[in-house]
């Protein structure tokens, strides 16, 4: 007997995601990750003058890194509040960037018009993973590059989302975003293209576990909304589990918090 499983309602899921990522102010955390955007631009060997698209750009880390290298950058996100943070940063740095509200699963661009597509910890959260990958590959010219930074399942952020998922269930029917941080899943998402991946580590540096919790509960949408969805007892239980995760990974000793978080730096050459 075959059991039919309804496909996820991607439209409804994306509406909820927009609300999650608009909660708090991701830029408070996002700006601390700027080094990842710089590293990714070096990994794709970005050239001055190239046409670059940053998808699920958030507050614009990869966008600004590419603009500083004199690329022609278009920065996109489907959460206008996040896109505005990138626009403010580009204005402050006097960088010329085109900003456009757009969903990575339905990019409003012609085929093969960009030399490079970038995403740092963004596209991995798209609910329809195959569609997002297909759209990125579609808009890149043959021989162009797709550069990604994706949290791995076993790294700190991957473990954090598993911890949150034990307290607040994720949408049913979706594949884990952390699968974008595995070579096998990337090979499936980008068939026929050359995929090169290297494991890297970003260190979250905070004054203490209390400081990390204060910042992430206030400003990071997924954590903010997870705590908001729980009653007082549930919030206390989630906080205990997150503290245990932080304490187990902290290499800063008793004086500070330094938590290494593994991510996959990916360069896909299109064919």
φ and ψ at residue 95, rounded to 5 degrees: -95, 140
100 within domain boundaries:
yes
Number of domains making up the chain? 1
Question: In terms of residue numbers, what domain contains 192?
Answer: 10-151+171-203+262-269
Question: For residue 171, is pLDDT > 90?
Answer: no
Burial class (CB in 10 A: 0-12, 13-18, 19+), 1: exposed
CATH number of the domain at 46, please: 3.40.50.150
Q: What confidence score (pLDDT) does residue 173 get?
A: 83
Name the band, by pLDDT with cuts 50, 70 and 90, for residue 3.
very low
Question: pTM for the whole thing?
Answer: 0.94
Q: What does 74-142 look like in DSSP terms, one character per residue?
A: EEEES-HHHHHHHHHHHHHHT--EEEEE--GGG--S-TT-EEEEEEESSGGG-SSHHHHHHHHHHHEEE
191 within domain boundaries:
yes
Name the band, by pLDDT with cuts 50, 70 and 90, for residue 6.
low
| pLDDT greater at residue 5 or residue 94 | 94
- Per residue in 104-119, pLDDT tens? 999 999 999 999 999 9
Please name the residue that has the structure tokens 């995403």.
119
| Strand 72-77 relative to strand 97-101, pairing | parallel
- Per residue in 68-77, pLDDT tens? 999 999 999 9
Quote the distance between the C-alpha of residue 84 and its chain's center. Answer: 17
Residues contacting residue 179 through CB under 8 Å, at least 6 positions apart: 129, 153, 185
The Cα 82–Cα 233 span in angstroms is 32
Q: What is the mean pLDDT of the chain?
A: 95
253 within domain boundaries:
no
Lowest mean per-residue pLDDT among 7-21, 29-43, 171-185: 7-21
212 within domain boundaries:
no
């Amino acid at each position: 007997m075959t059991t039919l499983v309804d496909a996820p309602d991607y439209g409804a899921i994306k509406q909820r995601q927009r609300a999650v990522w608009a909660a708090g102010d991701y830029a408070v955390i996002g700006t601390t990750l700027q080094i990842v955007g710089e590293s990714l631009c070096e990994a794709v060997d970005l050239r001055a003058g190239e046409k670059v698209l940053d998808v699920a750009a958030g507050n614009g880390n990869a966008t600004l890194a590419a603009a500083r290298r004199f690329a022609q950058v278009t920065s996109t996100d489907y959460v206008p509040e996040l896109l505005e943070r990138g626009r403010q940063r580009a204005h402050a740095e006097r960088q010329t960037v085109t900003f456009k509200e757009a969903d990575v699963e339905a990019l409003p661009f012609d085929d093969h018009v960009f030399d490079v597509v970038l995403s740092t910890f963004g596209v991995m959260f798209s609910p329809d993973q195959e569609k997002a990958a297909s759209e990125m590959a579609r808009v890149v010219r043959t021989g162009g590059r797709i550069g990604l930074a994706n949290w791995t399942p076993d790294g700190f952020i991957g473990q954090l989302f598993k911890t949150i998922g034990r307290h607040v269930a994720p949408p049913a029917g979706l594949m884990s975003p952390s699968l974008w941080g595995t070579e096998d899943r990337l090979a499936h998402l980008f068939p026929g293209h050359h995929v090169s991946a290297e494991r890297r580590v970003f260190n979250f540096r905070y004054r203490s576990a209390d400081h990390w919790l204060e910042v992430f509960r206030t400003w990071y949408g997924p954590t903010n909304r997870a705590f908001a969805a729980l009653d007082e007892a549930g919030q206390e239980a989630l906080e205990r589990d997150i503290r245990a995760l932080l304490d187990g990974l902290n290499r800063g000793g008793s004086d500070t918090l330094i938590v290494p978080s593994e991510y996959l730096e990916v360069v896909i050459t299109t064919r």
